[in-house]
Amino acid sequence: MRQLTFIEPRRLEWWDVPAPRLAADTDAIVRPLAVARCDLDLYIATGFVSTYPGPFAFGHETVGEVVEAGDAAGVSPGDRVVVPFQLSCGRCATCRKGWTNACEAYPFAAAYGLAPTSGRDFGGALSDLIHVPFADHMLVPLPPGVDPVVAASLSDNIADGWRAVGPQLAERPGATVLVIGGLAQSVGLYAAGAAVALGAGRVLYLDDDAGRRDRARAMGAEAEPLALAEGRQPDQPFDIVAEAAGTEAALGFAIRSCAPNGVLTSMAIHLGALTAVPLTRAYYKGITFHTGRVQSRPIFPQALDCIACGRFHPQDVTHRVATFADAADLMTDPGPKLIFRCEAAD
């Protein structure tokens, strides 16, 4: 089968590799229908993030169709499903706590399309077929009427944005939300859209990129330039703050913007060896601060339900839809969300 393989920055190739096979009765083989480019994928492909040496299978955000399933897989051929990007068994003590990003059955940080994170290649979403172990736990049915292209990023980036506002708004209905956009560009936009969909009292999206501000407005958020270079100070305190900018200055601004006893989630990967954090201010405010990789599998079904009921519109973040055949050439295309549709799905 064909597999898109990352070789080095700005060089991806289609390789012919052996097709996956069922290895257990809980396994499934899935044919990708739509694959979204993760924000991290863009930075790996351009070389901005240099800690991912090739070669390895590429792509990890996907909606697909089951083509083969074991007797205990919980799915059947023809089922359309969302495939989590992180591998997890759903059975170990860690998974039962909802910490599927560190499943005990796999090397730490095991994921599709990101072999260097765990030291083992599990295949990539930009392939003809994907092997899914523990499919009875991993795979989530795509509701009828939901376009695979709309839901393609659920595996990672949509879930990442959702976790910064969804659980918090469930505890604080009508709370105000600030989203600081930037490096994790689609994640920040998904957070803003999710906050609007979930009825936040006010949603303000700050970003120095005008195109992303327009997308935030399309989802119902207020949007303004971030303008930290001009020494911007918070306009008001916010109950919930989501930081997707990935800079030290933005993280400091996020803490200054957080209301007393507020919740701050940093979704961006801060790439510097050290990042200064104004902990004294955070301490006196009593801020709850979250950072770390998303727990994809427990989170994205909540976002999927919100898409299916028509309140959440992740398609407003997508700047381009192309075919699998274009993936090697377009992976460095700038923009917040690029989605590849399998030609055979048309």
Give pLDDT, residue 137.
98
* pLDDT band at residue 255 using 50, 70 and 90 as cut-offs: very high
pLDDT tens digits, 46-58 = 999 999 999 999 9
* pLDDT band at residue 243 using 50, 70 and 90 as cut-offs: very high
Query: Are the C-beta atoms of residues 210 and 336 closer than 8 Å to each other?
Result: no
Give pLDDT, residue 211.
98
- pLDDT score of 62 more than 70: yes
pLDDT tens digits, 5-14 = 999 999 999 9
Give the rounded percent of residues in the chain with a pLDDT score beyond 90: 97
**Do 152 and 7 sit in the same domain of this protein?**
yes
Rounded to an integer, what distance in angstroms lies between the CA atom of residue 193 and that of residue 201?
Answer: 13
- pLDDT score of 345 more than 90: no
> Rounded mean pLDDT of the chain?
97
Give the rounded percent of residues in the chain with a pLDDT score beyond 70: 99
**Do 18 and 94 sit in the same domain of this protein?**
yes
Query: Going by DSSP bridges, is the β-strand pair 80-83/222-224 parallel, antiparallel, or unpaired?
Result: unpaired
* Tally of domains in the chain: 2
Which of these, 282, 264, 268, 179, lies nearest to 221 by C-alpha position? 179
- pLDDT score of 38 more than 80: yes
Residues 6+ apart with CB under 8 A from 106: 87, 88, 89, 118
CATH number at residue 326: 3.90.180.10
φ, ψ (nearest 5 deg) of residue 247: -120, 155
**Do 168 and 235 sit in the same domain of this protein?**
yes
Give pLDDT, residue 343.
80
pLDDT tens digits, 74-121 = 999 999 999 999 999 999 999 999 999 999 999 999 999 999 999 999
**Do 273 and 312 sit in the same domain of this protein?**
no
- pLDDT score of 270 more than 90: yes
Neighbours of 60 (CB within 10 A): 28
Query: Are the C-beta atoms of residues 334 and 183 closer than 8 Å to each other?
Result: no
**Do 21 and 120 sit in the same domain of this protein?**
yes
**Do 227 and 146 sit in the same domain of this protein?**
no
What residue numbers bound the domain in which 232 lies? Answer: 160-291
Compute, in degrees rounded to 10, the torsion defined by CA atoms 152, 102, 169, 234. -90
Query: Are the C-beta atoms of residues 4 and 14 closer than 8 Å to each other?
Result: yes
Rounded to an integer, what distance in angstroms lies between the CA atom of residue 15 and that of residue 168?
Answer: 43
CA 65 to each of CA 81, 82, 276: distance values in angstroms, whole numbers, following the listed order:
6, 9, 45
Q: What does the pLDDT average to over 267-285? A: 93
* pLDDT band at residue 346 using 50, 70 and 90 as cut-offs: low
**Do 6 and 103 sit in the same domain of this protein?**
yes
**Do 109 and 184 sit in the same domain of this protein?**
no
Which of these, 46, 20, 28, lies nearest to 335 by C-alpha position? 46
Query: Are the C-beta atoms of residues 263 and 255 closer than 8 Å to each other?
Result: no
**Do 172 and 287 sit in the same domain of this protein?**
yes
**Do 30 and 138 sit in the same domain of this protein?**
yes
Which domain-ending residue is among 256, 275, 291?
A: 291
Give pLDDT, residue 268.
95
**Do 13 and 90 sit in the same domain of this protein?**
yes
Q: Which amino acid is at 211?
A: G
**Do 41 and 138 sit in the same domain of this protein?**
yes
